[in-house]
Structure 1
């Protein structure tokens, strides 16, 4: 993983970064670390010249005075670094944007005259937009400009205020910079992402020292590679440790249940967040006068980020007490949970990404998983495996015997082996009992013959019964040919209480199977705005015609099932804005 992240830090090549790690960086607002940005270039310049405001002083920092380089020569050397930065990273608009913002930072570091640099920033923006007009419509460009402007105007004042309150100078500078950048950039992020990160500032603070080390070592490796390859390899190896730390910070921060919160999108949502941020800044300026209020606010923020399951249940009412089955909201994919005792559950599929299923299991209070069943190897059912394994005890992983797609099957074996979890194939007719649950594997048969529609038709299908008498049919993504085969091999199939509708409620359903099981609750795991048209209106109409109450995660959010008989009901969590 270290080797995959380093090219993004140094030259902006993120092609090898996994979707799971990218999602973690997005949740913690650390995406700027994985892209070519002015901050990367500013790190190199700061190593050369030192901290802002000292370049004109006798005690100025950085390598330049220690090497006896004059201020004028230092400026020329900084310009040469900018040129090398553009050449190495290719003169694309994003790279030119980073170099321009970095050069403005160079002027700030070299002169300490922050106010006079606003015209310089404006001139750089104008020249870049004239060179590449498409930047005028780029959110990334807007974020770079805003962040640079905040570092030049807001951050020094905030750092000075923190120093007056006894915060050490270096820590005050870092806090001021991180807070200022987040304050001005968060409303723009809310416009297109419709979310707010609650862990962005601490994660950026923890990552910043490692970013400097990794960037320096990465550029040193690039510089040494054409001359002394063993030295370049040494630099690249040493860069692996700080990049590993950055990845750990992103994953740990993103795994927190309240790492991010939904927020209204669009410019109205951005304007609302800007107003809230301004009010928050005004309140924060007065908090030192009221230590008890500050402590209470800090506690509320901590609880909002940690979201302990018992407190979440009290506040939101979800999951309901005594839930027996839950369908997580993981987007276009499947991840469902069968309660198997206090803190224990049987988990079926993981969804496409690690973070949503991890947060869902946290809300459900699941920390022990005796069995994880992966119905088939499509990415929307196994991609979130790391999220299920994270911080939980998993006893066994069962899978289908049809190892296709092979790359996803290999991913499952590799990820499970890294955590020491055995992987076995589910056997047709297998019966198990665990924590008040009993189930039977109804599909695939020992010799299914040709699989007409790929892995979907090899989905492991379970008929589950709870100790209270609830019955559930969980058919994975079975297509009509296998649904008909399932009914032929199990003609005794009768009405069930809950049906996990196959293949996200697609139009490909066998009416005979739906008529045989006639579920009381039909639950559909599906992503909002998916390009497949799931769930199909015809499928929903057929289910309702058989008397089923239909709930779906794209409109209802996560869903929990409670009760039996006349008390059977599905409780939706509801979606964030």
Structure 2
């Protein structure tokens, strides 16, 4: 068996992955593995030739058993109390994750109180505390009161599955607490003295930067040195992601390599015997891993570094595939579910690429740089080979998790990685000096602060380059498999192990492989739109957001959803739900953005959408303080100024952030148009949207801003959709009185299915199905029981985003198919 550990680890991984697909009890998997172990032992004693196969099956079953054990161990009775206000006592068993507006703790539960009921419980809980300046530490025993909840499944296809993410960490429930008094410390008892010491030292070292650097510089320094990302703002994190250097903020092989190199350099400077290198460096690496939080990337790098150190120390062969396999096996024995962690996958993929592909790329680059002096050609070839190999090996994973490709990644890494080494070195020096005398640390941090600023400006520069990032839809698994198969084939062909005759025969298939990959790429990227009309009613909680995709490849977004204060904070539904969804399905631009009315649950995410996607035209309702005059309808018009009144005819205040957004869109070249009854938006040859309400007649007072909502009717061949915004009874009555043709196959229910519904509107529309965009467990009583009864009485099939998730209709103009995000029903 060539490299047996690699093969055995592969079998173990296959078993772990099978455990995620098959609902097998741990006891059964363990029983099967035990029988297989006995068979393997008997085969060894009897020298059975086929015993190798039994051993492979044993490792597979062992992986299956360990995977199921990890899943079953996370089960907890706390799930029974989901959705209730409880008091929970437990011990903090990990370093707190401090964010700008909240703190997350990993709590090992001990006791639950609900009213007069007190119960001893077990299980891990993610404790979220908002509006509190107190931060508790590792080992503290606390009592917390709040809402216990099990995370909801994602409502939109491809959305982030928070429930599964936590379950793979052994967490089934979240306790949401708010305020200083919601959490109190009752005792202190460190779980692991060594980990407690490491975290205490980390806190002391981190505090040094706080006293002499700005908040943003401190966050970056702690991110680089310790992988602490909670206080790094979202824009900075996005810049690192889009330039392909986000790995710098997560302790990984780069950081372990810098620590290892620094320690070896220090030992040589002290002229200590080489025999002491491995014994002295190993505990330093282990302690650094304890300080940085056991993430998969740092574990992989530390294990491989320690194995290679000791192999050199003992004079053993250093075989990187075996070393990688052993590192993976150790991590997955400790926690089999780490296989699903993006950090685990990206770390091993990048390392494989560097070790497998970089020699080939290095030789190729060296050949291209022959014209340069030898002393320059070799370092340049090596400098290019390493980041290029890592990028090639991680492209499918980055596209899968982040939906992007960063062409500037190689250049960005060439510039910022050396700066990272300097920042880490000065950061460690200042941290140590800070424990002796703070003024000395401040002197070092002055220089480090300048370098950090240069570092950040370098990242911003690369982010701002044309074509710095391309957002792509989530790639199909077959394309990823073809990509990695191609990389392995290239490595095999140029490794020197391939015989010339075989190499010549295989080369003929290279063109076929390239053609196949090109075909898969063309299928993957939706260049020319689909074969019909698709309407996506997104699950954005208590709000509205609808995406229309036409057969010609045009995109119209009706409303953007929004959470409370999203106008002010700029973060919420727009950046966390709508933008990721649009990117995952391959939307690159919006031809039309409709904001039915200014309420935050409909337009709060618009600023983020406009920032992330090119928008050709925005359509808004006519109101007193938003006078957007169009001389030639919605095809070509002139945008006039926005009046700065506090209130409109409805008596409600129009958010100033909404007015500022319209101004910004107009200044940015987006055609902002006011729409009224009778206007028509032509999306493509067979798809048009008619504005049915309200009219543009001046002087007519509207009762409230909901009744200013644009009501739209989309028609594609024989099928039609009605979008009603938040219109209430007055507007519904006015809509009926216009005498317009309201008949439609699909009705988006007005105002989230509230009780302000005229049954006559449903009769006039006479839909096959109705969609209610509504948030789960909302405080408004939506949808109203009377509304549901009206729809049921008229035989209308009801879809609700709180229960069904996203509701996606596809039609060829004659038939309708519907798919929902949570239960995948298709009709």
Q: TM-score range by the shorter chain?
A: 0.5 to 0.7
Matched residue, 2:527: 309
Q: Is the 8 A contact 1:349 1:373 kept in 2?
A: yes
Q: Is the 8 A contact 2:694 2:709 kept in 1?
A: yes
Q: Which has the higher contact order (CA 8 A, sep 6+)?
A: 1
Matched residue, 2:762: 515
Match among 786, 794, 797 for residue 546 of structure 1: 794
Q: Write out aligned runs for 1:346-495 (5 A).
A: 347-350=557-560, 352=573, 353-357=578-582, 362=587, 368-369=591-592, 372-373=594-595, 375-378=597-600, 381-383=603-605, 385-387=607-609, 390=612, 392-396=614-618, 398=620, 409=658, 412=661, 416=665, 419-421=668-670, 432-435=679-682, 437-442=689-694, 457=706, 460-464=709-713, 473-476=722-725, 478=726, 483-492=728-737, 495=742
Measure the CA separation in 2 of the matches of 1:350 and 1:97: 36
Matched residue, 1:33: 247
Pairing 1:12–2:231 present: no
Match among 809, 816, 820 for residue 559 of structure 1: 809
Structure 1 residues 113-143: Cα deviation after superposition (integer angstroms, max 9, x where no partner):
74489779969997x99xxx9x737638966
Matched residue, 1:295: 514
Q: What is the CA distance between 1:12 and its match in structure 2?
A: 2.6
SS for the counterpart of 1:13 is: coil
Matched residue, 1:234: 450
Match among 159, 163, 172 for residue 358 of structure 2: 159
Measure the CA separation in 2 of the matches of 1:79 and 1:380: 60
Q: Is the 8 A contact 2:251 2:298 kept in 1?
A: yes
C-alpha change, 1:510 and 1:437, in structure 2 (3 Å) is closer
C-alpha change, 1:253 and 1:46, in structure 2 (3 Å) is farther
Structure 1 residues 513-540: Cα deviation after superposition (integer angstroms, max 9, x where no partner):
543433435453769x966699979767
Measure the CA separation in 2 of the matches of 1:94 and 1:250: 37
Matched residue, 1:52: none
Q: Write out aligned runs for 1:197-276 (5 A).
A: 208-209=413-414, 212=417, 215-216=420-421, 219=424, 222=427, 226-227=442-443, 231-244=447-460, 255-257=471-473, 260-261=474-475
C-alpha change, 1:154 and 1:14, in structure 2 (3 Å) is same
Matched residue, 1:61: none
Q: Is the 8 A contact 1:20 1:354 kept in 2?
A: no
Measure the CA separation in 2 of the matches of 1:497 and 1:121: 59
Measure the CA separation in 2 of the matches of 1:138 and 1:405: 49
Measure the CA separation in 1 of the matches of 2:523 and 2:717: 35
Measure the CA separation in 1 of the matches of 2:363 and 2:789: 67
SS for the counterpart of 2:535 is: strand
SS for the counterpart of 1:559 is: strand
Measure the CA separation in 1 of the matches of 2:544 and 2:256: 43
Q: What is the CA distance between 1:209 and its match in structure 2?
A: 3.5
How much is the aligned-residue C-alpha RMSD, in angstroms?
A: 6.3
Measure the CA separation in 2 of the matches of 1:475 and 1:217: 58
Matched residue, 1:268: none
Structure 1 residues 192-222: Cα deviation after superposition (integer angstroms, max 9, x where no partner):
xxx6778679786576446525634654785
Measure the CA separation in 2 of the matches of 1:417 and 1:85: 56
Matched residue, 1:58: none
Matched residue, 1:267: none
C-alpha change, 1:384 and 1:104, in structure 2 (3 Å) is farther
C-alpha change, 1:443 and 1:358, in structure 2 (3 Å) is farther
**Gaps (5+ residues) in structure 2?**
1-214, 368-380, 431-440, 494-505, 562-572, 626-646, 683-687
Measure the CA separation in 1 of the matches of 2:517 and 2:271: 44
Measure the CA separation in 2 of the matches of 1:394 and 1:141: 39
C-alpha change, 1:178 and 1:157, in structure 2 (3 Å) is same
Measure the CA separation in 1 of the matches of 2:282 and 2:460: 26
C-alpha change, 1:489 and 1:535, in structure 2 (3 Å) is closer
C-alpha change, 1:524 and 1:236, in structure 2 (3 Å) is farther
Q: Is the 8 A contact 1:350 1:383 kept in 2?
A: yes
Matched residue, 2:46: none
Q: What is the CA distance between 1:378 and its match in structure 2?
A: 3.3
Q: What is the CA distance between 1:293 and its match in structure 2?
A: 1.7
Structure 1 residues 385-431: Cα deviation after superposition (integer angstroms, max 9, x where no partner):
5445656353446378789896974894697478454778x68x666
C-alpha change, 1:180 and 1:69, in structure 2 (3 Å) is farther
Q: What is the CA distance between 1:336 and its match in structure 2?
A: 3.4
Q: What is the CA distance between 1:359 and its match in structure 2?
A: 6.1
More helix by share: 1
Q: Write out aligned runs for 1:100-119 (5 A).
A: 101-102=301-302, 104-105=304-305, 114-115=318-319
Measure the CA separation in 2 of the matches of 1:418 and 1:209: 37
Measure the CA separation in 2 of the matches of 1:490 and 1:447: 15
Measure the CA separation in 1 of the matches of 2:659 and 2:290: 35
C-alpha change, 1:211 and 1:404, in structure 2 (3 Å) is farther
SS for the counterpart of 2:511 is: helix
Measure the CA separation in 1 of the matches of 2:583 and 2:479: 27
**TM-score scaled to structure 2, two decimals?**
0.46
Structure 1 residues 27-69: Cα deviation after superposition (integer angstroms, max 9, x where no partner):
x9979637532245146448859xxxxx9xxxxxxxx69x994
Q: Is the 8 A contact 2:711 2:724 kept in 1?
A: yes
Measure the CA separation in 2 of the matches of 1:295 and 1:430: 53
Q: Is the 8 A contact 2:407 2:467 kept in 1?
A: no
Matched residue, 1:60: none
Q: Is the 8 A contact 1:396 1:422 kept in 2?
A: yes
SS for the counterpart of 2:729 is: helix
SS for the counterpart of 1:91 is: helix
SS for the counterpart of 1:439 is: strand
Question: Between Structure 1 and Structure 2, how many residues are aligned?
Answer: 507
Match among 525, 535, 541 for residue 326 of structure 1: 535
SS for the counterpart of 1:227 is: helix
